[in-house]
Amino acid sequence: MAENLSIATNLSKEEKYKTLIPQIKALVHSENDLIANMANICSVLYFGMNFFWSGFYLVKKNELVLGPFQGPVACTRIRYGKGVCGTAWKNKKTLIVPDVNKFSNHIACSSESKSEIVLCGIKNNTVQFVLDIDSNKLNDFDAIDAKYLKEIIEKII
Ligand code: SME
């Protein structure tokens, strides 16, 4: 199993994802514990992509509960339909928010967070968890992030 992440600098966002995804695959392929795999994925995304915050919220009963993450401390529980995470869960769809201050429903865990992407881990047509990534730059997420982060989620769902 890989122990050290190989992080190349001066790459485009897409090239970074392409470098990191095989490393994620190597980390998760022989491990079936969801929490362990989520923990390593957060670390790879945080250090490899330089995100401000990367983490998972798991669906438990009728709310999202904080799971493995990297970055500043975050709120622990999010209700269905609340915040960017709860809205993505409700809609069962990836949600990109270019400016969190313009998203009325946003839950601010840190005032430094400026833009956000949330993807759903869906199994049997039910959301099991969400992957939440925050950036301290406005408009930092696009279809490239959505594509590669979805690919990452598919390795553990
Ligand atoms: N901003 C999220 C809450 C989680 S933190 O960003 C880590 C939301 O609105 O759902």
Query: Can you give the CATH number for the domain in which 80 is found?
Result: 3.30.450.40
Q: Closest by alpha carbon to 94, among 30, 49, 147, 47? A: 147
24 is a domain residue: yes
The mean predicted confidence, pLDDT, of the chain is 95
Distances (CA, A) of 64 to 89, 93, 99, 115: 9, 15, 22, 20
Helix axis angle for 143-154 and 13-28, nearest 10°, is: 10
- Residue 130 CA to ligand 1 centre (angstroms): 11
The neighbouring-strand residues paired with 135 are 115
- Checking if the pLDDT of 74 tops 90, the result is yes
Q: Work out which ligand 1 atom sits closest to the CA atom of 78.
A: 10
**pLDDT of res. 7:** 80
pLDDT of residue 5: 82
pLDDT average, residue stretch 63-76: 97
Q: What is the pLDDT of residue 89?
A: 98
> pLDDT over 70 for what percent of the chain?
98
**Residues in contact with ligand 1 (CB, 6 Å cut-off):** 53, 74-75, 78, 83-85, 106-107, 109, 113, 116, 132, 134
What pLDDT, on the 0 to 100 scale, is given for residue 1?
53
Closest residue CA from atom 3 of ligand 1: 107
Q: In the predicted model, is pLDDT for residue 152 greater than 60? A: yes
Probe ligand 1: pick from 45, 54, 69, 75, max atoms within 8 Å of CB?
75
Phi, psi of 64 (to 5 degrees): -95, 135
Domain assignment of residue 136, yes or no:
yes
Give the structural domain span for 78: 13-153
pLDDT in tens, 107-117: 998 999 999 99
Could you tell me if residue 57 is inside a domain?
yes
Q: Is 7 inside a domain boundary?
A: no
Residue 112 near residue 82 (C-beta atoms within 8 A): no
Atom from ligand 1 closest to the CA of residue 108 = 1
- Read off the pTM: 0.96
Q: Is the pLDDT of residue 63 over 90?
A: yes
pLDDT of res. 3: 67
Backbone angles phi, psi at 136, to 5 degrees: -90, 10
Three-state secondary structure of 55-99:
EEEEEECCEEEEEEEECCCCCCEEECCCHHHHHHHHHCCCEEECC
Q: Is residue 5 part of a domain?
A: no
Domain membership of residue 120 (yes or no) is: yes
More confident residue, 9 or 147: 147
Question: Residue 105: inside a domain, yes or no?
Answer: yes
Domain count, the chain: 1
The pLDDT tens digits of the residues spanning 1-33 come to 556 888 877 899 999 999 999 999 999 999 999
Residue 108 lies in a domain: yes
Q: Which residues of 8-20 are buried (b: 16+ CB within 10 A; e: fewer)?
A: eeeeeeeebbeeb
Q: Ligand 1, closest atom to CA 106?
A: 9
DSSP code string of 86-141: HHHHHHTS-EEES-GGG-TT---S-TT--EEEEEEEEETTEEEEEEEEEESSTT--
